[in-house]
Amino acid sequence: MTPNPPGRPARRHRLAATLATASVLLLVSASPAHADAIRAQQWALDAMHTEEAWRTAQGRGITVAVLDTGVDATHPDLEGQVLPGRDLIGFGARSGDRAWARHGTAMAGIIAGHGHGPNRADGVLGIAPEAKILPVRVILEGTDPARAKARSSKGGALAEGIRWAADHGADVINLSLGDDSESAHPEPGEDAAVQYALAKGAVVVASAGNGGEKGDHVSYPAAYPGVIAVTAVDEYGTRAAFSTRRWYATVSAPGVNVVIADPDRRYYEGWGTSAAAAFVSGAVALVRSAHPDLTPAQIKKLLADTARDAPKDGHDDARGHGLVDPAAAIKAGAKLSRTDLKSEAAGADGYDKRYFGSGPDAPRENSEPAAWLAPAVGGAGALLLACAVLLWRGGLRRTGVRR
C-alpha cells in the first residue's frame, strides 16, 4: 500500500516571477493571505512532481543534517521532526531571540516541513515531510551581534560540523551556505570533511552560489568533489540571474519566490541557491528512503541522469543537468545495480577531472526575462543572514500570514 500524499488544496495558483537583485533579505509588508495561501504559493511542489514521488516515499527513515544557523524545533511545521543536534558556535543569540535560527529553520521547512492544522493543510510542506532534521549550528545570523566574534574564532565549525553529522546518522548533509567572494578558495579541512562524509555514505548537497551578477566566482563547499551543487531557477525553469554559473553545477531547483517558515511564526518569500539546495536535499531524502542502499555517487549520477529540461548538450554551467526530478530518480533507482561503498572512491567524480574549470558559460543573448533588471534594494528592514564568508544571499518578503 502506497502512502497518501500530504493534504493540499486542490486548486493551485501561480505567482509572477519577481525578485529583487540585492544580496539582502528584505521584509516587505503585504496584505493578509487566505487560509490556503501558503500551500497554494508553494509552486515548487508541482515543479518537482512531488505528489508522484510521494506515492513511493516521503522520506521515512532518513535523517537530513542541516548545517546552518540552528533550527526551531518548536515550529508547528517542524514539530516532532527535529532531532537533538549540536551547536558548534556556542555563543551568540539563543532560542527565542530574533537573531536566531531564521535561515536554518527556513531550510529545514523546505526539506521536511509537514504543515499543521486540520489535515496538515496549513503552513509549509517540505519535499520529504517524513524525514528527520539533524540541526548543526555552524554559522550565526547576519544580525547577531556576536557574528564578528564567530568569524574570527569559529572558522573550523563547518568542517567539524560535516564530520559530526556524518558520525551521528546523517544520510544527507545540507549545506545552504558558501563562500563565493573574490577570495574564495578551497580549504583542505573542509574538503577532507566532505570526503569523510561521502566515504561514510552521506550524500552532501550545497548551494552553487549567488554570484551570478557579481562575477560568478567559484563557491565552496559547492565546488568540492563529490558534492551535489545546486543552481536556482524560477517557476518557468529559467535560470535565476543571481545563480552562479560554474562547471560544478549538478542540477537546478526552485530558488525564486520560495515560501519559507520563520521562528516568528510568520511566512516569507525568499530567493537564493540556499533554497534550491534545500529542495534537492529533500529530493535526495526521498530517493534514499526508497533506495537506502544506493551510494552517494550513485545518487548524484541518478539525479543528473533523470533531471528534466536538460540543456542542449546535456549539461551547462547555469542549470547543471537540468531540473531535479525525485519521482524520475526513484523510478530509475530501482534499476541500478548496487555498489559496495568501500569499493567506491569517494569523490572520484571530481578529482580525476578539471578541478577549477575555465569559468562560467558565456551569457546568451536575451536569455533572461526583463524582470531580472529590477533595481537593487536595501536600507531599513534588510537582514543579511551571514557569518564570515559563509553566506546565504537571498530576498525575503512577508506573506502577511501568522499561523
The residues assigned a catalytic role are 68, 103, 274
Taking the C-alpha atoms of residue 113 and residue 104, their distance in angstroms, rounded to an integer, is 12
Distant-in-sequence, close-in-space partners of 21: CB < 8 Å, separation ≥ 6 = 213, 241, 242, 372, 373, 374, 375, 376, 377
Spatial contact of 283 and 303, defined as CB atoms under 8 Å apart:
yes
Cell of 275: 533554497
CB neighbours (10 Å) of residue 49?
Answer: 17
Written as nine digits, the cell of 96 is: 527565542
111 φ/ψ angles, rounded to the nearest 5 degrees? -75, -50
Instruction: Extract the runs of DSSP E, i.e. beta strands, from 118-158.
Output: 122-125, 132-137
| Cβ contact 125:113 at 8 Å | yes
- Please, what sign has the CA dihedral across residues 22, 28, 31, 35? positive
Nearest residue to 43 via CA among 254, 277, 252: 254
Task: Find cell 562575477 and name the residue.
Answer: 215
